[in-house]
């Protein structure tokens, strides 16, 4: 696929490919054939390699001979024949002592089953007639003469993105009339001095890179030469680095994408290459691979600084940004949890429970204990005391006594109302009893729907619902199952003080439509409620209620600000009412919501 010719740098022979003022290249892409199937991306390969030679290695454009769909006659005119090895254009164009030579071929390679000798298949060749092909042995022998002409201080590189097993590259499809599974062609005899790069060795086929629409070998060579093979920051790629990168990446991609083996042949050489900006053809895949490499480096380091550096350096594709943010936020939460533990050990030991509550930040793990020691009910403790509004709220809420959860659940179930179970779940949102309460709650809703009841099995406190409606009414309208979001205001008419952010979701992957989002549902449950929307990592939510593992949330429409949603949470009196504002609302699973304000 490539031919590297580097002008001799007397001070550093490894940089010979930096001097290509009089270097010569032949680039061949055979896509369309008269007597067999096409090689879909061969023309793309040829254009990508021509671009690399001209733009990257500074070959003069007039010295890069590009042949597309070359016939046997054109191959012979370029490289000479077996009888006249010095009769080709390449021999005549190479300048003694001043030319590097780069030869690239993408197209079909075919073996002669009788002699086992491989040959390049011209556009007009018959894969079952070796005499219609250009023998690889002839190519190498004629190039050895070109190598002798340019001199030992110059380089001649041959790159072939083809296989010689008789396969087309498509599974189960052969170029040959006679099936030859597992056929291994003979290796042509070749003298020293030529650096060979061949897409595959032995009995394995060459594969394609469907994303970049290039041969896989060509694709990984160009990506490595653009910098992915580079180990140091010196803007140069040592040949062993490129060799290691191409072989490793081709083998891995072939197994991953096609389930087949492909092991390139990549000769060693005492060379180094300048890094080249990736071409338009490979830029997207190059940036994705670069992003993958930076993420591997950050996770291997594991430090906060490495993760922050990954986020800061995201300029193109940044597939792991959210994972990095999640890890950083988790570190922050862990640090806050340690501070919370220290705060509790200090104030709890001294009996200063209110001081602990005053010092609480985002994490307040011992809040229930502190409130209990202070003799305050966990539900009503956040409400101001000594007011008529508080008395109304207490009368409506009828808080559950927290000292005996089993007894509290029994009383809630005996009450036979959804709101009694809601009160229990607000105090005990997790655990076995919460699961039992949640199941009882769903059973009440389903029973009401089946019987067509317009009221709860027993009377509910009207103060908790919009005028004239009970919670069962709201939860079981005609049509899809739905539980509206309720807002509850304190005596200062402040509703839904809690706030959160969507977090912990995996990255969004185009190939997986079910990845990277959190479903918003019409009620506090899974498939029993319809999905009404999808939200993503970083979306900010107003949290109005929690039932079991589900948060009732309000959030802005696209083009609407979060502050607008907060500003429109207006209520006219303390109590509970159905949310009917302009923002979106629904229920989301709390495992993917990080509460930021309580």
pLDDT at 394: 36
Using 50, 70 and 90 to split pLDDT, how confident is the model at 193?
Answer: confident
Is the pLDDT confidence value at 533 over 90? no
Name the most confidently modeled range: 174-188, 390-404, 424-438, 548-562. 548-562
Question: Across residues 516-521, what is the average pLDDT?
Answer: 87
**Rounded Cα distance, 477 and 29, in Å:** 66
DSSP three-state, residue 130: helix
pLDDT at 24: 97
> Which are the contacts of 149, defined by CB distance < 8 A and separation ≥ 6?
91, 94, 96
Let me know how long the chain is: 598
pLDDT at 379: 44
pLDDT at 574: 57
Using 50, 70 and 90 to split pLDDT, how confident is the model at 177?
Answer: very low
pLDDT at 234: 67
pLDDT at 598: 65
Across the chain, what does the average pLDDT equal?
79
pLDDT at 264: 92
Sort 449 into a burial class: Cβ within 10 Å, 0-12 / 13-18 / 19+. Answer: middle
User: Domain boundaries in the chain?
Assistant: 13-277, 320-376, 381-477, 486-597
Edge-first strand listing for the sheet containing 109-111: 109-111, 118-120, 134-135
28-51 pLDDT, tens digit per residue, is 999 999 988 899 999 999 999 999
Is the pLDDT confidence value at 422 over 90? no
Question: Across residues 583-597, what is the average pLDDT?
Answer: 87
Q: Tokens 């009694």 appear where? A: 420
Q: What is the CATH number of domain 13-277?
A: 3.40.50.1460
In this prediction the pTM is: 0.56
pLDDT at 451: 55
Is the pLDDT confidence value at 335 over 50? yes
Q: Which residue has the higher pLDDT, 63 or 591?
A: 63
pLDDT at 402: 45
CATH topology of domain 486-597: SH3 type barrels. (2.30.30)
pLDDT at 431: 67
267-323 pLDDT, tens digit per residue, is 999 999 988 888 888 888 888 888 888 888 888 888 888 888 888 887 777 888 888
The vertex-505 CA angle with 499 and 509, nearest 5°, equals 140
446-477 pLDDT, tens digit per residue, is 666 555 443 333 333 333 333 333 333 333 33
């Amino acid at each position: 696929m490539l031919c590297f010719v580097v002008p001799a740098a007397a001070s550093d022979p490894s940089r010979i490919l930096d001097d290509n003022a009089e270097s010569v290249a032949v680039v061949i892409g055979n896509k369309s054939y008269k007597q067999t199937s096409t090689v879909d991306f061969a023309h793309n390969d040829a254009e990508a390699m021509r671009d690399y030679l001209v733009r990257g290695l500074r070959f003069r454009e007039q010295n890069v001979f590009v042949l597309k769909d070359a016939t046997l006659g054109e191959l012979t005119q370029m490289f000479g024949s077996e009888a006249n090895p010095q009769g080709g254009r390449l021999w005549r164009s190479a300048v003694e002592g001043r030319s590097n030579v780069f030869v690239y071929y993408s197209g079909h390679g075919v073996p002669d089953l009788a002699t086992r000798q491989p040959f390049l298949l011209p556009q007009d060749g018959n894969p079952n007639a070796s005499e219609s092909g250009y023998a690889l042995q002839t190519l190498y022998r004629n190039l050895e003469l070109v190598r002798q002409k340019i001199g030992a201080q110059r380089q001649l590189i041959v790159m072939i993105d083809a296989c010689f097993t008789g396969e087309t590259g498509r599974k189960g499809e052969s170029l040959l009339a006679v099936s030859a599974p597992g056929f291994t062609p003979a290796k042509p005899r070749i003298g020293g001095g030529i650096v060979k790069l061949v897409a595959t060795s032995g009995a394995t086929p060459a594969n394609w890179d469907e994303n970049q629409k290039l041969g896989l070998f060509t694709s990984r060579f160009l990506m490595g030469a653009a910098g992915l093979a580079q180990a140091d920051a010196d803007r140069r790629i040592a040949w062993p680095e490129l060799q290691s990168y191409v072989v490793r990446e081709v083998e891995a991609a072939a197994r991953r994408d096609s389930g087949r083996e492909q092991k390139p042949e990549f000769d060693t050489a005492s060379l180094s290459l300048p890094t080249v900006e990736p071409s338009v053809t490979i830029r997207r895949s190059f940036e994705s691979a670069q992003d993958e490499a930076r993420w591997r480096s950050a996770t291997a380091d594991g430090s906060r600084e490495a993760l922050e550096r990954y986020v800061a350096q995201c300029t193109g594709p940044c597939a792991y940004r959210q994972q990095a943010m999640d890890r950083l936020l988790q570190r922050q939460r862990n640090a806050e949890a340690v501070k919370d533990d220290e705060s509790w050990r200090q104030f709890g030991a001294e009996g200063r429970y209110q001081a602990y509550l005053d010092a609480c930040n985002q994490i307040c793990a011992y809040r229930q204990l502190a409130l209990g020691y202070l003799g305050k009910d966990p539900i009503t403790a956040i409400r101001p005391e000594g007011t008529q509004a508080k008395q109304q709220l207490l009368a409506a809420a009828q808080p559950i006594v927290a000292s005996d959860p089993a007894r509290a659940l029994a009383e809630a179930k005996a009450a036979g109302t959804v709101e009694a179970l809601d009160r229990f779940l607000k105090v005990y949102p997790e655990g076995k009893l919460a699961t039992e309460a949640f199941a009882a709650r769903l059973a009440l809703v389903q029973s009401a729907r089946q019987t067509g009841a317009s009221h709860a099995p027993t009377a509910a406190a009207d103060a908790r619902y919009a005028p004239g409606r009970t919670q069962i009414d709201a939860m079981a309208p005609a049509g899809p199952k739905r539980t509206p979001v309720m807002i509850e205001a304190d005596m200062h008419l402040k509703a839904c003080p809690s706030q959160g952010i969507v977090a912990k979701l995996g990255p969004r992957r185009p190939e997986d439509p079910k990845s990277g989002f959190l479903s918003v549902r019409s009620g506090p449950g899974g498939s029993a409620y319809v999905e009404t929307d999808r939200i993503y990592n970083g979306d900010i939510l107003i949290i109005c209620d929690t039932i079991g593992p589900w948060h009732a949330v309000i959030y802005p429409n696209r083009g609407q600000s979060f502050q607008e949603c907060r500003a429109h949470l207006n209520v006219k009196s303390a109590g509970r009412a159905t949310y009917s504002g302009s923002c979106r609302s629904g229920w989301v699973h709390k495992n993917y919501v990080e509460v930021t304000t309580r």
